[in-house]
Amino acid sequence: MTAKIIDGKAIAAELRARAAGEVARVRREHGLTPGLAVVLVGNDPASEVYVRSKHKQTQDAGMASFEHKLPADVPQAELLALIDRLNRDRNVHGILVQLPLPKSLHTETIINAIDPAKDVDGLHPHNAGRLAGGFAALAPCTPLGCIILSKSVHASLEGMNAIVIGRSNLVGRPLLQLLLNENATVTIAHSRSRDLPALTARADLVYAAVGKPEMVRGDWIKPGATVIDVGINRIPAADGKTRLVGDVAFAEASQIAGAITPVPGGVGQMTVACLLVNTLRAACAIAGVPKPAV
């Protein structure tokens, strides 16, 4: 058996198109143009590529895009002052500070300074707490994308056994909460978990988010399971260059799984699409207009 490949590129394109349609409607009916501000500190090449992609896709969706690039040695007070200005800017409905930040900056302090209503990354304790409590909240984009990809295979996740491998605040923990909201039965595993292969083999849904290249092997997977690979790792290739691989050994797992996301072309595509959706939702909530149909 060969797994169905979950086409994150196509699903993300469809989501972006739906978001763009709602942006046009909101602008037409309410005179509201959602605005996203992205703050990039330093010049990490991977972050720069990602920010450029966000800028283009934000504009393509009909939203306003505001980019703020700061040097790596920016004083923390200066970054906090910028966030304060963006919090008060009525044209900005979403604020995203690109992580990771330089070690000279205290990440928690920076995230806590963002207005929770504009926290489109879903990392502010207010949003994290609401999500944990099962209340409406802005949720982190990558976990949202994971849920959408899962539901492209299964109409409902209710009653399914899911395992989340990785417990980061960016992916693992919020993904646990989103899966609970879908009425799945969830195990969250990590580097200290005992007998990870056996835990994984029980799961109908496998979410790999550990940042270790090809750690999840094919013989860990329950036959027919859906595998969502969040990992993006660069490893040396035979030609001396590097190649991108996920946290799952794709060639092995695709022989056993029922459906699987590729790397690249899977979860990564969904993250920016979900960011647009979060910005649109935030804009509507801040302006007091009805929730968008996306």
Cβ–Cβ under 8 Å, residues 221 and 215: no
For CATH 3.40.50.720, list the domain ranges present in the chain: 141-268
Burial (CB < 10 A; 0-12, 13-18, 19+), residue 176, is buried
Q: What angle do CA 279, 115, 293 make, to 5 degrees?
A: 25
Can you give the pLDDT at residue 236? Answer: 87
Cβ–Cβ under 8 Å, residues 162 and 205: yes
Burial (CB < 10 A; 0-12, 13-18, 19+), residue 187, is middle
CATH superfamily of 30-115: Leucine Dehydrogenase, chain A, domain 1 (3.40.50.10860)
Can you give the pLDDT at residue 1? Answer: 66
Burial state string for 86-97 with b = 16 or more CB within 10 A and e = fewer than 16: bbeeeebbbbbb
Question: Helices in the chain by DSSP H: which ranges?
Answer: 8-30, 45-60, 76-88, 107-113, 125-132, 141-151, 172-181, 196-201, 250-253, 267-287
- In the chain, which residues have pLDDT < 70? 1
Task: Give the contacts of 17 (CB within 8 A, at least 6 positions apart).
Answer: none
User: Measured between alpha carbons, how far apart are the two ends of the chain, in Å?
Assistant: 35
Can you give the pLDDT at residue 43? Answer: 86
Is-cis flag, bond preceding 264, omega within 30? yes
Positions annotated as catalytic residues are: 54, 98, 121
What's the DSSP call for residue 119? B
Pairing of strands 259-260, 161-165: unpaired
Task: Give the contacts of 42 (CB within 8 A, at least 6 positions apart).
Answer: 70, 71, 72, 101, 102
Q: What angle do CA 103, 275, 206 make, to 5 degrees?
A: 85
- Domain 141-268 carries which CATH code? 3.40.50.720
* Residue located via tokens 């993300």: 12
Neighbouring-strand partners of residue 35:
64
pLDDT digits (tens, 9 = 90+) for 172-226: 999 999 999 999 999 999 888 999 999 999 999 999 999 999 999 999 999 999 9
Q: Which two tokens stand for residue 266?
A: 């899977």
Which amino acid appears at position 285 of this protein? A
Neighbouring-strand partners of residue 231:
none
Can you give the pLDDT at residue 291? Answer: 93
Neighbouring-strand partners of residue 228:
207
Is-cis flag, bond preceding 71, omega within 30? no
- φ, ψ of residue 164 in degrees (nearest 5): -110, 115
pLDDT digits (tens, 9 = 90+) for 234-259: 888 888 888 889 999 999 999 999 99
For CATH 3.40.50.10860, list the domain ranges present in the chain: 30-115
DSSP string, 153-201: T-S--TT-EEEEE---TTTHHHHHHHHHHTT-EEEEE-TT-S-HHHHHH
* Residue located via tokens 């604020």: 95
